[in-house]
Structure 1
Amino acid sequence: MSATIKIANAPCSWGALEFELEGKSLGYTQVLDEMQETGYAGTELGDLGFMPTDPAALKAVIAQRSFDLLGAFVPVALSQAEAHTAGIEQALKTAKLMHDAGFSHAFIVLADENGSVYERTNNAGRITPDAALSTAAMEVFAAGANAVAKAVKETYGMRTVFHHHCAGYIETPTEINLLMEMTDPDLLGLCFDTGHFSFGGGTNHVAFMQQHKSRIWHVHFKDFSPTVAAAAAANQWNYFQSVAHGVFCELGIGNVDFAAVKQLLLDWEYNGWIVVEQDVLPGMGNPKQCAENNRKYLHQIGL
């Protein structure tokens, strides 16, 4: 059964992030080469513009490595109604690129415009109920997510998943639950990220996944260091400082029970991809070595 699950990585593991940050990430050629060399079979697109934006060129760089392209991250400030139109346009532009390159099975990985709201960014991993969106703002948020997913599906026949993410408005398990309740299950799935779930206060990955089985269409494997999170709380680090200190550690070092998550996916006969992510800032650490260590760990647990 494990043969039905393939393992990918993502450009964020090499510091190619959607945020405007100091430092420069590696180019896509080196990133994809190192992914291939460390044993992965696919990738996500990364921020639009990181890889070629010409469909034929994108298809060529993916095919050159016998890779698959699984999705693309699209951040939208969904709590702001005035941002929805531009968000839909960005999602459609990204979907068109993947569709025209031959990857119409890939997901739009929709997220909040993480890192753009001071209170959420400054208190990532320490969000309290009073920091949640109001009911009215949450309705706007959900309507925007539905609208993006509907446009992508109707225009290109492609699916959209929402990525819960620290430093955004959908971080805690309660917030994820509410968004799933308020959005159309035929339009919007969930990209379940193990590391962000932990950092956002989640404790039982398997129980949460069982609760949302029908909505989990895409999975990110990311580990989480409670030690670094405790230091972040003690020192009032913001999201980026926490990442810089390694809150998302190598797989098997943190607190995520990946063997249990893997077994659940096998029990479901999940035939999608697992995308390994170990978010780092540009220029941080040794991404290739981490990618190799992460792949070895997954081999150890039967993936």
Structure 2
Amino acid sequence: MRRLKLGSCPDSWGVWYADDPRQTPWSRFLDELAVAGYRWLELGPYGYLPTDPAELAEELDARGLRCAAGTVGGVGGPHRNFREVVAETRRVAELTLAAGGRNIVFVPVPGYRDDATGGYLEASELGPEQWRALLDNTNTLGRLLAEEYGLSLRFHPHADYQVENQRQVERLLDGTDPRFVSLCLDTGHLAYRRADVLGLIHGYPERVGYVHLKQMDPALAARAEAEDLAFGQAVALGVSVAPPAGAPDVPAVLGALADLDADLFVVVEQDMYPVDFDLPLPIATRTRRYLEETGDFA
């Protein structure tokens, strides 16, 4: 049975924020997403797409699009500012549920660095009390989403946040409740920090709940590390690339995902902020064709 569903998201059109003049206008994004051949989408930053449920439903229906997930971001990680995290998660959950989605992707940004300047905002490693808060609060958030909204929390490891490498991801999974917390397995961010993507799939098969499929240029990732660049600065250099140009190996990842006993959304992400508005559509179209030729999607 085909159990992988292919989608995309605003990030692949250069969208990182709810409102930014350097970003593709939301109506153009939706038009081009449909033209590129995608039928599932992740909503992206709250406020980028219409937040009125009736208007959002009308816009998606008009283009034959369906919601795979809502996205929580912009409030930092759950080890701090937890009241703000909960408030943002609730409003995203309400819109996601109204749009027919069943997943909430939690993206812990901003992290410990400033994307534009590269400056450090806090330590790159959490202390024991911060780890305890992260694990407890993530469990609380997952339980809230499950019990009050019937939604699933997918935690997104992210470059320049304190859950970004193999050791940290495993600590998060080992310390949280599998009933309420699973991964948004972002293959690009994990590869950027040299995590073993296939090892995570094989080692924690029941915790892979959702996938962001992206690739990174290994040479540019190595340069970013050597020059101590922030992730946003690396993106500006072009570190995020279209498959099959980078790492990890897409056929191997799709094969491992297909072997899991799970229905999974595989959402294409290619970080391109900021980007010329004419660039995303042809890249997205080529990427969809490549992935459909490579994987076994429903």
Q: TM-score, normalised by structure 1?
A: 0.89
TM-superposed deviation, 1:7: 1.0
- For residues 200-254 of structure 1, the C-alpha deviation after alignment (integer angstroms, 9 at most, x for no partner) is 221x322221111111110111011011112223433221110011111011000
TM-superposed deviation, 1:174: 0.7
* 8 Å contact kept, 2:236–2:274: no
TM-superposed deviation, 1:275: 0.2
Is 1:38 aligned with 2:36? yes
TM-superposed deviation, 1:19: 8.1
Q: What is residue 204 of structure 2 aligned with on the other side?
A: 212
Distance, in Å, in 1 between the alignment partners of 2:260 and 2:91 is 33
Q: What is residue 182 of structure 2 aligned with on the other side?
A: 189
Q: What is residue 162 of structure 2 aligned with on the other side?
A: 169
Is 1:151 aligned with 2:144? yes
Distance, in Å, in 2 between the alignment partners of 1:237 and 1:20 is 25
Distance, in Å, in 1 between the alignment partners of 2:183 and 2:252 is 19
Map 1:1-303 → 2, pairs under 5 A: 1-2=1-2, 4-18=3-17, 23-75=21-73, 76-78=75-77, 80-81=79-80, 83-101=81-99, 103=100, 105-115=101-111, 117-118=113-114, 122=118, 131-202=124-195, 204-284=196-276, 286-303=279-296
Distance, in Å, in 2 between the alignment partners of 1:266 and 1:70 is 18
TM-superposed deviation, 1:284: 4.3
* 8 Å contact kept, 2:187–2:214: yes
Higher mean C-alpha deviation, range 139-148 or range 281-290: 281-290
TM-superposed deviation, 1:193: 0.8
Secondary structure in 1 matching 2:87? helix
Distance, in Å, in 1 between the alignment partners of 2:78 and 2:262 is 32
Q: What letter corresponds to residue 104 of structure 2 in structure 1?
A: I
- For residues 19-44 of structure 1, the C-alpha deviation after alignment (integer angstroms, 9 at most, x for no partner) is 887x5211111111111111111111
* 8 Å contact kept, 2:77–2:111: no
TM-superposed deviation, 1:115: 4.0
Q: How much is the aligned-residue C-alpha RMSD, in angstroms?
A: 2.2
Distance, in Å, in 2 between the alignment partners of 1:34 and 1:265 is 27
- Structure 1 runs of 4+ with >4 Å offset: none
TM-superposed deviation, 1:123: 8.9
* 8 Å contact kept, 1:162–1:190: yes
Q: What letter corresponds to residue 9 of structure 1 in structure 2?
A: S
Q: What letter corresponds to residue 159 of structure 2 in structure 1?
A: C
Distance, in Å, in 2 between the alignment partners of 1:255 and 1:143 is 33
Secondary structure in 1 matching 2:45? coil
TM-superposed deviation, 1:77: 2.8
Distance, in Å, in 1 between the alignment partners of 2:200 and 2:289 is 27
Distance, in Å, in 2 between the alignment partners of 1:207 and 1:236 is 27
Give me the identity figure in percent. Answer: 28
- For residues 82-130 of structure 1, the C-alpha deviation after alignment (integer angstroms, 9 at most, x for no partner) is x1112111111111112123x1x421111222345459x9499xxxxx9
Q: What letter corresponds to residue 65 of structure 2 in structure 1?
A: F
Distance, in Å, in 2 between the alignment partners of 1:240 and 1:272 is 28
* 8 Å contact kept, 2:102–2:150: no
Secondary structure in 2 matching 1:63? helix
Long gaps (5+) in structure 1: 125-129
Secondary structure in 2 matching 1:70? strand
Count of aligned pairs: 291
Long gaps (5+) in structure 2: none
Secondary structure in 2 matching 1:181? helix
* 8 Å contact kept, 1:123–1:167: no
- For residues 51-94 of structure 1, the C-alpha deviation after alignment (integer angstroms, 9 at most, x for no partner) is 1111111111111122111112213433544x111211111111
Q: What letter corresponds to residue 25 of structure 2 in structure 1?
A: G
Distance, in Å, in 2 between the alignment partners of 1:289 and 1:233 is 30
Secondary structure in 2 matching 1:171? coil
Distance 1:226 1:123, change over 3 A: farther
TM-superposed deviation, 1:151: 1.6
